[in-house]
Structure 1
Amino acid sequence: LRRYIERLVTTARNADLNTHRQVFAALQSKEATKKLINEIAPKYEGRNGGYTSIIKTRIRRGDATEMAFISFV
């Protein structure tokens, strides 16, 4: 997940028509594409990566799946 989202944010920082097309091809949602390009990506203009924070929390009881909180830094 980290690799996927960080590549999208890095691509979205350059807001032009080709960027919109690339991000939309990955997300398949107009609303998500607009939010990523207009709201999220401009916050990380001066940052060279490390946009996400993943904190492992616990193991789920029913099927022993690892749980985690995922957020933008």
Structure 2
Amino acid sequence: MEPNTDDQIEGQRIVAIRKMSDTELERVGWTARRGNSPPVIELDSGAILYPSMDPEGNGPGALFGIGADDEAFFISP
């Protein structure tokens, strides 16, 4: 896996927020996690962003944020 720079993502639009498919889980080696799919943010370029439990990609993680109202939230598609 190679690092991606911000300029390859910045400015793209989000076209979907969904669960990771079984095919995508298999591609990243998370087949044991079927039924517990992490959220995926799909961009207009076709790129997808998804959370991992650690930098090595040992398993899926949760995606959290803070809204404009300063309230914390998590994404659950």
So what's the TM-score if we normalise by structure 1? 0.26
Higher normalized strand content (fraction of residues): 2
Higher Cα radius of gyration: 1
Higher normalized helix content (fraction of residues): 1
